[in-house]
Amino acid sequence: MNILMRLSPLALALAATPSLAEMPKGISHFKLDNGLEAVVIEDHRAPVVVQMVWYKIGSADEQPGKSGIAHYLEHLMFKGTDKLGPGELSKTVTANGGMDNAFTSYDYTAYFQRIAADRLPLVMEMEADRMQNLRIGEDDWQAERQVVLEERSQRTDSDPGAQFAEERSAVQFYNHPYGRPVIGWRQEMEGLTRDDAIAWYDAHYAPNDAVLIIAGDVTAEKAKELAEQFYGPIPPKENTTRKPRPQEPEQRADRRIERSDPRVAQPVLTRSILAPERNAGEQKQAAALSVLAELLAGSAQTSVLARDLVLTGKALYVDARYDGLTVDPTTFGISLVPGPGISNADAEAALDAALTKFLEDGPDAAQLERVKTQIRASRIYAQDSAHGRAYDYGQGLSVGLTVEDVNDWPDILGAVTADDIRAAAQLVLARPGSVTGWLLPEPAADQAQAATATLPAAEDVQ
Amino acid sequence: MIRALATFVFVALAALPVRAIEIQEITSPGGIKAWLVEDHSIPFTALSLMFKGGASLDAPEKRGAINLMTALLEEGSAQMDSVAYAEAIEALGASNRFDAGDDALTVSARLLTENRDAAADLLRQALTEPRFDQDAVERVRAQVQSVIRNEDTDPNSIASKAMAKLSWGDHPYGSSVNGTAETVAALTRDDLIDAKNRVLARDRVVVAASGDINAEQLGQLIDKILGGLPEKGSVPLPEQAKLQLTGGVTLIDWDSPQTVVSFAQPGLPMSDPDYFAAFVADHILGGGGFASRLMDEIRDKRGLTYGVGTGLSNAVYGETWVGGMASANEKTAEAVDLIKQEWDRFGESLVTDKELNEAKTYLTGEYPLRFNGNGKIAGILAGMQLIGLPADYVNTRNAKIEAVTAEDVQRVAKRLLHSDQIRFVLVGRPQGIAASN
pLDDT tens-digit map of A78-129: 999 999 999 999 999 999 999 999 999 999 999 999 999 999 999 999 999 9
CATH number of B24-226: 3.30.830.10
B245 to chain A: nearest residue by CA?
A461
Contact A458 B256 (CB under 8 A): no
Q: Which of B42, B117, B372 to mutate to test the interface with A (most CBs of A within 10 A)?
A: B372
A25-230 against A266-431: fold identical: yes
Q: Which of the residues in chain B have pLDDT under 50?
A: 1-18
**Interface residue A382 vs chain B (CB under 8 A):** no
**Interface residue A383 vs chain B (CB under 8 A):** yes
A367 to chain B: nearest residue by CA?
B87
Q: How far does A244 lie from chain B, in Å, by closest CA?
A: 33
How many beta carbons lie within 10 A of that of residue B29, not counting itself? 11
Average pLDDT over residues A316-337: 97
Superfamily, domain B248-380+389-428: Metalloenzyme, LuxS/M16 peptidase-like (3.30.830.10)
Contact A461 B254 (CB under 8 A): no
Model pLDDT, residue A450: 39
Model pLDDT, residue B98: 98
Using a CB-CB distance cutoff of 8 angstroms, which residues of chain B are in contact with residue A144?
303
What is the SS3 assignment for B383? helix
What pTM was estimated for this model as a whole?
0.91
**Interface residue A340 vs chain B (CB under 8 A):** yes
Instruction: List the domain boundaries for chain A.
Output: 25-230, 266-431
What is the SS3 assignment for B24? strand
**Interface residue A162 vs chain B (CB under 8 A):** no
**Interface residue A165 vs chain B (CB under 8 A):** no
Q: How far does B203 lie from chain A, in Å, by closest CA?
A: 31
Q: Which of A301, A374, A447, A449 to mutate to test the interface with B (most CBs of B within 10 A)?
A: A301
CATH number of A25-230: 3.30.830.10
Q: Where are the alpha helices (DSSP H) in B129-274?
A: 134-152, 155-168, 181-186, 189-199, 215-226
Mean pLDDT for all residues in chain A: 91
Q: Which of B48, B259, B295, B300 to mutate to test the interface with A (most CBs of A within 10 A)?
A: B300
Average pLDDT over residues A402-413: 96
Model pLDDT, residue B19: 54
Partner-chain residue, chosen from A153, A384, A458, that has the shortest CB–CB distance to B374: A384
Residue A9 has pLDDT above 50, yes or no: no
pLDDT tens-digit map of A267-322: 999 999 999 999 999 999 999 999 999 999 999 999 999 999 999 999 999 999 99
pLDDT tens-digit map of A180-191: 999 999 999 999
* Catalytic-labelled residue, pool A37, A42, A62, A74: A74
Average pLDDT over residues A376-393: 94
Contact A302 B152 (CB under 8 A): no
Residue A213 has pLDDT above 60, yes or no: yes
Contact B42 A380 (CB under 8 A): yes
Rounded Cα distance, A407 and A178, in Å: 27
Q: Which CATH number fits domain A266-431: 3.20.20.70, 1.10.10.10, 3.40.50.10300, 3.30.830.10?
A: 3.30.830.10
Average pLDDT over residues A148-173: 95
SS (H, E, C) chain A: CHHHHCCCHHHHHHCCCCCCCCCCCCEEEEECCCCCEEEEEECCCCCEEEEEEEECCCHHHCCCCCCCHHHHHHHHCCCCECCCCCCHHHHHHHHCCCEEEEEECCCCEEEEEEEEHHHHHHHHHHHHHHHHCECCCHHHHHHHHHHHHHHHHHHHHCCHHHHHHHHHHHHHCCCCHHHCCCCCCHHHHCCCCHHHHHHHHHHHCCHHHEEEEEEECCCHHHHHHHHHHHCCCCCCCCCCCCCCCCCCCCCCCCEEEEEECCCCCCCEEEEEEEECCCECCECHHHHHHHHHHHHHHCCCCCCHHHHHHHCCCCEEEEEEEECCCCCCCEEEEEEEEECCCCCHHHHHHHHHHHHHHHHHHCCCHHHHHHHHHHHHHHHHHHCCCHHHHHHHHHHHHHCCCCHHHHHHHHHHHHCCCHHHHHHHHHHHHCCCCCEEEEEECCCHHHHHHHHHHHHHHHHCCC
Using a CB-CB distance cutoff of 8 angstroms, which residues of chain B are in contact with residue A78?
290
Model pLDDT, residue A453: 36
Model pLDDT, residue B13: 38
Residue A16 has pLDDT above 70, yes or no: no
Using a CB-CB distance cutoff of 8 angstroms, which residues of chain B are in contact with residue A92?
5-6, 9
What count of CB pairs under 8 Å joins A to B?
251
More confident residue, A2 or A211: A211
Q: Which of B1, B3, B5 to mutate to test the interface with A (most CBs of A within 10 A)?
A: B5
Residues 178-207 of A with CB under 8 A from B: none
Contact B258 A153 (CB under 8 A): yes
Is A74 part of the annotated catalytic residue set?
yes
Contact B371 A46 (CB under 8 A): yes
Model pLDDT, residue B289: 84
What is the location of CATH 3.30.830.10 in chain B? 24-226, 248-380+389-428
